[in-house]
Chain A
């Protein structure tokens, strides 16, 4: 067949598939592929949508769709990437199965290459996590520590250890992150009171600064839970650095991804595995 004929058949097929068998939620997947031998293949539909019927029944169901099949070849099953690629490496791996589109996020790429922070900043990050680790040791039961830092000055503004014990009647909500946020609030109230009494000229700028954790970084030895992660969203935290993931409760990557949740009005960057081995021993 002539190349032009093949292309027009493909275009027609794609149009029909789009109308009758849309690929919901797979916007990153290209509908058509041309392999190295010049053969074209088009995705008909998702196998998982028809997972409750046999392959034979599926073929039959597909053939019954209002689509002109006469010039199309056999049906077969391929694997495609379930989600869009965030990194070039993911893109390359996924493309081996089926072509997908890829828009490189320069910031993520830079982070993966280890070029996001210079040596001095990296040293500060480790130093701050070190402070979080010593803070964690203040509680003998739940060895979790949190430290709030102003990255502009690399000054530690607040630090807190976990306030819980194994007793169910102890304060179950005194997670290190919550206490750290409380302390920042108290600090800001104290600053405002001082400014009001002495009428310092920077009163205005302090009010502008707000009452939240805007612009601050949090260092914590364990991945924050849903409550703490949402408290950090409410507080408008800038970045979070944590050491060990929490597969059961972790809300910044493990169980949930609150920091990038589309329904929320504030997002922040999260970095993990800082002194992970040391913090694993805390548990």
Chain B
């Protein structure tokens, strides 16, 4: 099972800030940071509406940023990803789970299950779910209730 580093609270705080940023921008509030060697190498928040692309989840954005970081810092992506942890405010969906699996990156999170799928198995042995879930849920509620006042 994955363990979060000593700075995990600080990193998670940044993930929540990113989720908040998404909320303000009218996106589903999910934020994440990708950490390698005690350093954030990728940050992301949902930008689906902004770029009109349903695959631009926080995780995918962070992964793309991390690839750039690797290039700029002359670090091999295969080394960086397989030794990295993703801290994310909402449990990754099937698409993002599979992407993380391709990269051998661990998902560590304060997940709230909003997509209930058996594919959780894909990363189940590598996750630490459930901490601070309420905070992530509150953000999601703000988004969905904001969109549908009658809901």
Contact = CB atoms under 8 A, between A and B. Distances in A.
Interface of A: 168-169, 171-173, 178, 181-182, 184-186, 188-189, 192, 211-213, 225-227, 230-231, 234-236, 256, 258, 261, 263-264
A227 B117 CA distance: 14
Interface string B140-151: 000000000000
A211 B55 contact: no
Contacts, number: 75
Given A169-B77, A263-B116, A258 B94 contact: yes
A248 B95 CA distance: 17
A172 B93 CA distance: 18
Interface of B: 48-49, 51-56, 60, 63, 67, 70, 76-78, 93-95, 98-99, 102-103, 115-119, 122
Nearest to A225: B98
Pairs A-B, 7 closest by C-beta atoms = A185-B53, A211-B52, A230-B95, A227-B98, A234-B54, A168-B78, A230-B94
Nearest to A237: B54
Contacts of B116: 263
A235 B52 contact: no
Contacts of B67: 171
A172 B101 CA distance: 11
Contact of A231 (B52, B95, B102, B118): B95
B102 A211 contact: no
Nearest to B52: A211
A169 B71 CA distance: 10
A165 to B, nearest CB: 12
